[in-house]
Amino acid sequence: MAKKLHIKTYGCQMNVYDSERIAEVLSPLGFVPWDTTDGADMVILNTCHIREKAAEKVYSELGRLRKQKEAMAADGRRMVLAVTGCVAQAEGEEVLKRAPYVDMVFGPQTYHRLPQMVAEATRASGQQLDTDFPEESKFDALPQDRTVDGATAFLAIQEGCDKFCTYCVVPYTRGAEYSRPAGAVLSEARNLVQAGALEITFLGQNVNNYHGEASDGSTWSLARLIREAAEIDGLERLRFTTSYPAEVDDDLIAAHKDVAKLMPYLHLPVQAGSDRVLKAMNRNHSVDEYRALVDKLRIARPDLALSSDFIVGFPGETDADFRATLKLIEDVTFIQAYSFKYSPRPGTPAALMDLQIDEAVKTERLAELQAVLNAQTLAFNAACVGKTLPVLLDRTGKKPGQLIGRSPYMQAVVVNTSEPLMNRIVDVTITSAGPNSLLGTLEKDNQKACA
């Protein structure tokens, strides 16, 4: 009989990718995806350690799962309970200490070794802890054939980070930067397209520092990889995330101009609009350098839209520093952004800095910043009304006859249709816009771009 596998994924797109690959690794052992923890033979929490109280949320969920695990045991069934991701990497032994009913804790670099861990766990040979950084790449041991749920897919091309921003745990939980060989990336991309993917997003903690080795011994940049991937028959769209501003080079800027399949949307985190704060964050770029980069990108691709990340209340942030961030947002304009109050992450330099900001001040600043960002999102969406956009329809809506897709700018677009258009790119004329989505009608031509 098939065994039921439930994976709960927290955090970033890299975790989404890892969860997909974990399911593929476990498939030969008879595990099939299961939508709920109820009755699951294995439950895996794929965790994130970036934001405040992330670990406590995991322990709370584990407490709930303990009751299910005990109830199943009373019925003579076993639930294998596992924790992976960045909390597992950072707090592996602590997880087993605080939640001794957990069977397995493994880091994001070791899930290719899951079959052995599962075998040992099911033989009741004790808890399994594997948070080493192996010398061999996990990607070499993962299944070559990929499955695609719909028409979009993530493809990890780079992992880890060497930047050591003072607020960030990624270098400690994901390890040093590693770029996959170019041939392996293109092979996986072709497999994804054959499985039905029309759009692929290249993933990496510092994706634009990709430097993969080619078969001839040369080193490919992200720009070269994008140009080669764009030649794959059947692949219609390319994206990449997340970028580090200091490493966006002229070749990548040119790719935005030259490669039609590369979508006119770029996530370019800046974090703050004050040079003093950026220096304290160890971001390795100034505000003026960020502005100049944005100008070059928009000259190369005039219809390019930007999203970003912002942290408010970083240690020592003054009101003038915060106002400088607001000024940057107003000048650059972003169609979407992730914004957070600074929260100390254990083991990072910023957690030990003086001049920690009062929580009430952080809350007030975040509300003001988000009001500006939300207004920009709504203004961009409103500017799309009357335009016709190519939309990749990839999921059903809440109402009968509704399909939802994504525009080139990552906006959710809702259409009403009785046509079998799932997992197809269609032209949609936008009729109305809200802060979170667009509504449109199907068209056959007259494709335009947002102003």
pLDDT in tens, 202-236: 999 999 999 999 999 999 999 999 999 999 999 99
* Residue scoring higher pLDDT (293 or 115): 293
Peptide bond into 84 cis (omega under 30): no
Least confident among 90-99, 180-189, 357-366, 372-381: 90-99
Question: Do β-strands 211-213 and 219-221 pair in parallel, antiparallel, or remain unpaired?
Answer: antiparallel
* Residue scoring higher pLDDT (51 or 420): 420
Q: What is the pLDDT of residue 56?
A: 80
Is the predicted pLDDT of residue 254 greater than 50, yes or no? yes
- Count the Cβ atoms, other than its own, within 10 Å of residue 278: 24
Is the predicted pLDDT of residue 306 greater than 80, yes or no? yes
What is the torsional sign of CA 33, 38, 40, 42? positive
Is the predicted pLDDT of residue 319 greater than 90, yes or no? yes
Question: CA 40 to CA 36: how far, in whole Å?
Answer: 7
Confidence of residue 52 (pLDDT cuts 50, 70, 90): low
* Residue scoring higher pLDDT (88 or 322): 322
Q: What is the pLDDT of residue 427?
A: 96
Question: CA 304 to CA 391: how far, in whole Å?
Answer: 16
Rg of the chain in Å (alpha carbons): 23
**Nearest alpha-carbon partner for 241 in 1, 7, 48, 17:** 17
Q: Which residues contact 148 (CB under 8 A, 6 or more apart)?
A: 192, 195, 196, 197
pLDDT in tens, 162-189: 999 999 988 888 888 999 999 999 999 9
Confidence of residue 345 (pLDDT cuts 50, 70, 90): confident
The residue whose two tokens read 């039609």 is 260
Q: What is the pLDDT of residue 447?
A: 38
Q: What percent of the chain has pLDDT over 90?
A: 71
Helices (H) and strands (E) in the chain, counts: 12, 21
Q: What is the pLDDT of residue 137?
A: 67
Residue 199 and residue 238 in contact, taking contact as beta carbons nearer than 8 Å = yes
**Secondary structure class of 182 (helix, strand, coil):** helix
Is the predicted pLDDT of residue 48 greater than 90, yes or no? no
**Secondary structure class of 267 (helix, strand, coil):** strand
pLDDT in tens, 110-146: 888 888 888 887 776 667 777 776 656 667 667 677 7
Is the predicted pLDDT of residue 51 greater than 70, yes or no? no
Question: Could you give the count of Cα atoms lying within 13 Å of 173 in the half-sphere of its Cβ?
Answer: 27
- The arithmetic mean of pLDDT across residues 44-68, rounded, is 85
Question: CA 5 to CA 31: how far, in whole Å?
Answer: 6
